[in-house]
Amino acid sequence: MSDPVPTDTANTGWTPPAYADPTRFTEQAVTVGTGPFAVPGTVSLPARRTPAPAVVLLGGGGPFDRDGTAGPNKPLKDLAWGLAGRGIAVLRFDKPTFAHPEFAAASDLTMTGEYVPYAVDAVEQLADRPEVDADRVFLLGHSMGGKVAPRVAASVPTVAGLVIMAGDTEPMHHAAVRVVTYLAGTVPDQVPASAVETIARQAALVDGPDLTPQTPAGDLPFGLPAPYWLELRDFDPVEEAAALDQPMLIVQGGRDYQVTVADDLARWRSGLADRSGVDFAVFEADDHMFFSGTGPSLPDDYLLPQHVDPEVVDHVADWIDRAQPR
């Protein structure tokens, strides 16, 4: 499911969360990937812990920068700074769909192409750094980044473990119908009833026998090309996760209307029930971005200046410190 619409990284008004202490880490610029579609990134290195465990951050669906910038908020930067202050190295990078508009517009775009080569390179870069414990490089994926994390781990078996935050398991085109229906009922001034009919028609095309690589992107959800949907409709992140042997932490916000306890977390729990080394954590007050609040979560909430729940940052950091790579 696509996340809140990303915005330009400049002049967002972001200020560091109270739990981020920039005196406890340094940052360096890096390049992730190779060739004309390489992307810029940032590595955050703890000042007082060497070699440190490390994580690669994988952002959600959409053309996001390395910080996950949406309005005044930068949730991935919150996570990076919070974890680095806790002694965990972090590498985050711009998605190629953000850094290269021509990449985003390609007719053969797929989820795997959008994420996996970059994530694999980021893991390998961290493992090669003397400041990092090469045996303790983890993946942390949010939303679609969490969905694809098991495929990344299968592609680079040296990954020590996975943190999946609001990772969707319901087929994305089905989730889109559910989310648009929810929005049409809660913010009808922003999402008219006709939008439900449109997304339902597009989702039916994804499910049907007439979807081919040549199906126009304009006929499909979010304007993503047919190869994207041909891959996604057959992709089961829970099945791929169950085939791995690394430890996993599945984190969910209780107020999340995009990736939900009932529709997505239940699938993680069921599909990984027979696997050891899987932990779950639900933060009842948190929405899809892990911003805390009360009442039903609404799209405009994402544009209010706020930060990732400090309890989430602490829980993830503690889990990484405790996790025992296989």
Reported pTM: 0.95
Cβ-count burial 28-62 (b if 16+ within 10 Å, e if not): eebebbeeebbbebbbbbbbebeebbbbbbbbbbb
Neighbours of 217 (CB within 10 A): 17
Per domain, the residue ranges of the chain are: 22-169+242-322, 171-235
Average pLDDT of the chain, as a whole number: 95
Percent of the chain predicted with pLDDT > 90: 94
Give the pLDDT band (50/70/90) at residue 4: very low
pLDDT tens-place string over residues 189-217: 999 999 999 999 999 999 999 999 999 99
Residues comprising the chain, all counted: 326
Element (H, E) at 29: strand 25-32
Q: Report the catalytic residues.
A: 143, 256, 288
Residues near 139 by Cβ (< 8 Å), separated by ≥ 6? 55, 56, 58, 119, 123, 149, 152, 153, 159, 161, 162, 163
Tell me: pLDDT of 152 over 90. Answer: yes
Domain 22-169+242-322 in CATH 3.40.50.2000? The answer is no
Nearest-10 crossing angle of helices 172-186, 193-207: 170
Mean pLDDT of 31-39: 97
Q: Is 286 helix (H, G, I), strand (E, B) or coil?
A: strand
Tell me: pLDDT of 9 over 70. Answer: no
β-strand pairing of 39-46 with 25-32:
antiparallel
Residues near 158 by Cβ (< 8 Å), separated by ≥ 6? 123, 124, 127, 134, 135, 137
Q: Six-digit token pair at 58?
A: 């994988």
